[in-house]
Amino acid sequence: MSIKLYNTLTRQKEDFKPIHKGKAGIYACGPTVYWFAHIGNLRSFVFADVLRRTLTHSGLDVKFVMNITDVGHLTDDASDGEDKMIVAMKREGKTAYEIAEFYTQAFMKDIDRLNILSADEYPRATDHIQEQIDMVSSLEKNGYTYQTSDGVYFDTSKLKDYGRLSGQLAEEKKAGARIDMGEKKNSTDFALWKFSPDGVQRDMEWESPWGVGFPGWHIECSAMSVKYLDAPFDIHTGGIDHIAVHHENELAQTQGALDALQANVWMHGEFLTVDGGRMGKSLGNLFTVDDLIEKGFDPIDFRYLVLGAHYRTQLNFTFEALTAAQNALNRLRETVRAWEAPGGDIKEFEDRFNAALADDLNTPQALAVMWEMVDSDHSTSAKAKSLLRFDEVLGLGMDLYVAVPLEVPENVRVLVSEREQARIDKDWGLSDALRIKIAEVGYLVEDTDSGSVVKQK
Ligand code: AMP
Ligand code: ZN
């Protein structure tokens, strides 16, 4: 079955045609590691993971590369732009390398907790300074650069179709821009290499043919993506905020340096909003995985919530919505614990599930098919087999639950039988106290006609 993906570059859904038969190369713009990833960032990484898993599930041999932006870059090219890495160093009293290492490890832990599969490569910007310098040199040789007092810039007026990704021509952007251009020739021009300011000793700075400094923000992704994947490679992903600047500039750099289209398909995940608005540390509504865990959620509840929205629609995060996701996931887990071991499968549902994903990764539809299958009258062993196949893409960790009856620990079983005795004795006070005790160790006890049923909270 052919897989259709929406390509930002062509503004349409296209049949995905791998460049190399049977293979697919994906480059996902990764995290900037000066703080914890927030749940908005993580939504975009879940999207890239679903893409990767869908292609793998369809039989392709996928190479998935995600960069780690561990070099400080300015929030914009203006000389007074803030360097977020330096802000973090001051906040935490650490070196830039210590900050980057700490938050890289924190990121790895987060993606593991969200069942996001590890990338085949995690190139770090600081390990690829030479590749970046080489690319800037090629751009210089090909006539796309000029130098100002603070760095080497890409001259966007030199590239014939600059702006093709965002569909905004350089001229239009210029007309709409009211920013301080400094010494830049065009408002869309951007830094390829920045000089370290005089008298400032940076933790991260390197020698270059143009002077001591550090790379601009966009060059790392052009240089590293073509190092680990061919140019062009198949698919480049990121959040929608990357379209207009970061990806536009990556595409321009690769075109200018190598005369090649960087990637055939450019895919962008819509934003996660919180309570209907923007997320921000200053707004107090910026949550991390640890925040969700602290509030009693499993990180997979969040993954389930994300899968419930198509990646190209905005998703508004609320704790009510997360609770609904938690309830749905708990019902799924409880249901499948009672199933027989996997055997056989249900082709009708598998076909519909695959068709949903093949339609530009329609995960809400895929989840609907999954539930229809779960609630169907087929044998539980066939349902188990199909569910585990679905979970290769959904990544809900169902292998831990399918046909795995809940093992209630001895101490909980003792409390439950004490509570049953209390109920026989009509000692409701003791019965309630025991229910609370059982809840404290993570279990729920429900009273049914046939006695107490114990569930995991
Ligand atoms: P950063 O660490 O800032 O480079 O961002 C990592 C990824 O998260 C990028 O692909 C961004 O486009 C994406 N991103 C940032 N904010 C949000 C958000 N609120 N919702 C979804 N994705 C986001
Ligand atoms: Zn990037």
Mind listing the pLDDT tens digit for each residue in 77-87?
444 456 777 77
Give Rg (Cα) of the chain: 26
Q: In the prediction, which pLDDT does 207 show?
A: 96
Give the closest ligand to the alpha carbon of residue 33: 1
- Ranges 41-45, 135-139, 261-265, 404-408: which has the least confidence: 404-408
Which band of pLDDT confidence, cut at 50, 70 and 90, is reported for residue 309? very high
pLDDT over 70 (residue 29): yes
Looking at the structure, do residues 86 and 199 belong to the same domain, yes or no? yes
Looking at the structure, do residues 174 and 299 belong to the same domain, yes or no? no
| DSSP category for residue 206 | B
Average of per-residue pLDDT values in the chain? 92
Residues 6+ apart with CB under 8 A from 280: 286
Looking at the structure, do residues 124 and 194 belong to the same domain, yes or no? yes
Dihedral in degrees, nearest 10, Cα atoms 265, 247, 188, 34: 170
- List pLDDT tens digits, range 188-233: 999 999 999 887 777 889 999 999 999 998 999 999 999 999 899 9
Q: In the prediction, which pLDDT does 79 show?
A: 44
Looking at the structure, do residues 161 and 221 belong to the same domain, yes or no? yes
Looking at the structure, do residues 79 and 164 belong to the same domain, yes or no? yes
Instruction: Tell how far the Cα of 449 is from the centroid of ligand 2, in angstroms.
Output: 58
Looking at the structure, do residues 283 and 176 belong to the same domain, yes or no? no
Which of 48, 45, 58, 74 shows the shortest CA–CA distance to 15? 58
Instruction: Tell how far the Cα of 167 is from the centroid of ligand 1, in angstroms.
Output: 21
CA distance 275 to 261: 39
- Residue 277, domain member (yes or no): yes
Looking at the structure, do residues 296 and 192 belong to the same domain, yes or no? no
* DSSP string covering 292-347: HHHTT--HHHHHHHHHTS-TTS-EEE-HHHHHHHHHHHHHHHHHHHTSPPP-S--H
Instruction: Tell how far the Cα of 380 is from the centroid of ligand 2, in angstroms.
Output: 44
- List pLDDT tens digits, range 383-398: 999 999 999 999 999 9
* Ligand 1 atom 17: residue of nearest CA: 40
- Residue 248, domain member (yes or no): yes
* Ligand 1 atom 9: residue of nearest CA: 239
Instruction: Tell how far the Cα of 257 is from the centroid of ligand 1, in angstroms.
Output: 27
Looking at the structure, do residues 279 and 254 belong to the same domain, yes or no? no
CA distance 221 to 123: 9
pLDDT over 90 (residue 52): yes
* Ligand 1 atom 8: residue of nearest CA: 41
Instruction: Tell how far the Cα of 247 is from the centroid of ligand 2, in angstroms.
Output: 7
Contact 266, 272 (CB under 8 A): no
Looking at the structure, do residues 326 and 389 belong to the same domain, yes or no? yes
Number of domains in the chain: 3
Q: Relative to the CA of 272, which ligand 1 atom is closest?
A: 20
Percent of the chain with pLDDT over 70: 94
- Residue 313, domain member (yes or no): yes
Q: In the prediction, which pLDDT does 233 show?
A: 98
Q: In the prediction, which pLDDT does 82 show?
A: 65
Q: Relative to the CA of 32, which ligand 1 atom is closest?
A: 2
* Ligand 1 atom 15: residue of nearest CA: 41
Q: In the prediction, which pLDDT does 435 show?
A: 92
Instruction: Tell how far the Cα of 240 is from the centroid of ligand 1, in angstroms.
Output: 8
Higher pLDDT, 281 or 131: 131
Which of 269, 290, 321 is a domain's end point? 269
**Ligand 1 pocket residues where CB is under 6 Å:** 29, 31-32, 40-41, 43-44, 238-239, 241-242, 269, 271-272, 279
* Ligand 1 atom 7: residue of nearest CA: 41
Q: In the prediction, which pLDDT does 444 show?
A: 87
Looking at the structure, do residues 296 and 417 belong to the same domain, yes or no? no
pLDDT over 70 (residue 241): yes
Query: Residue 120 carries which side chain, given as an amino acid letter?
Result: D
- Residue 226, domain member (yes or no): yes
Which of 203, 201, 194, 236 shows the shortest CA–CA distance to 64? 236
Instruction: Tell how far the Cα of 251 is from the centroid of ligand 2, in angstroms.
Output: 10
**Residue numbers of the domain that contains 341:** 273-400
Instruction: Tell how far the Cα of 69 is from the centroid of ligand 2, in angstroms.
Output: 8
Percent of the chain with pLDDT over 90: 77
- Ranges 124-133, 178-187, 401-410: which has the least confidence: 178-187
pLDDT over 70 (residue 75): no
Which of 255, 223, 248 shows the shortest CA–CA distance to 173? 248
Q: Relative to the CA of 273, which ligand 1 atom is closest?
A: 19
- List pLDDT tens digits, range 122-181: 999 999 999 999 999 999 999 999 999 999 999 999 999 999 999 875 455 555 555 678
Looking at the structure, do residues 262 and 352 belong to the same domain, yes or no? no
Average pLDDT over residues 253-273: 97
pTM above 0.75, yes or no: yes
Give the closest ligand to the alpha carbon of residue 246: 2
* Ligand 1 atom 18: residue of nearest CA: 40
Which of 352, 374, 400 is a domain's end point? 400
Which of 364, 379, 400 is a domain's end point? 400
- Residue 405, domain member (yes or no): no
Task: Read off the CATH number of the domain in which 137 is found.
Answer: 3.40.50.620
Task: Read off the CATH number of the domain in which 288 is found.
Answer: 1.20.120.640
pLDDT over 60 (residue 445): yes
Looking at the structure, do residues 255 and 278 belong to the same domain, yes or no? no
